[in-house]
Amino acid sequence: MRVIHYSKDPDFKVKPIEIKNGLLPIKPYGGLWAAPAESKFGWKDWCESEHFGNIGAQHKITLEVDTKNFITIDKVSDLDKLSWYKMGGFMEAIDFEELKRRGADGIYLTDEGQWRTRLTYPKSLYGWDCESVLIMNERCIKKVKKEEPGSGAES
């Protein structure tokens, strides 16, 4: 799968990816966030529609990713493929550390999955906001291409 990541770092390089459970139940500390290159509404689109920073000033990083060890979320029942734990004793939270320990390289939330899982209970991905790819292990990244901001090569 070809995915797009945006970075403010002019010296972006793929490094070992750290992943830790975060303060938010559905987002980790670490990881590498991207959206499929062919996405109808990915991260760039969301940032522009929500006026969230100047995405055009960032470096566009195109990654070729092997998704054979990814968990794909396309419907509500797919949420059961993730590891969950009780955060604060009552809230369902994704255990990203356990997923990586079990060999998952990432999570792919499809556009349909994003709409279907945003307001579900008790497990939800509300807050992912668009079709998303969370890379949790750099071993799945096979190729990297970086474009300078304003290079005119936007897709």
Query: For 24-57, how does the pLDDT look when each residue is reduced to its tens digit (9 = 90+)?
Result: 899 999 999 999 999 999 888 999 999 988 888 8
- 102 in any annotated domain: yes
Count of structural domains, the chain: 1
Angle at 89 (CA atoms; ends 120, 123), nearest 5 degrees: 15
Is 50 contained in some domain? yes
Answer yes or no: is 153 within a domain. Answer: no
Over 80: is that where the pLDDT of 117 sits? yes
Q: Rounded CA gap, 86 and 134, in Å?
A: 22
Please indicate, yes or no, if residue 154 is contained in any of the structural domains.
Answer: no
**In the numeric block, which tokens belong to residue 98?**
């356990």
Residue 131 has pLDDT above 90, yes or no: yes
Please tell me the least confidently modeled range out of 3-12, 83-92, 123-132, 136-145: 83-92
User: Could you tell me the residue range of the domain that residue 135 belongs to?
Assistant: 2-147
Instruction: Look at residue 151 and tell me whether its pLDDT is greater than 70.
Output: no
Looking at residue 124, its pLDDT comes to: 92
Where is pLDDT greater, at 146 or 155? 146
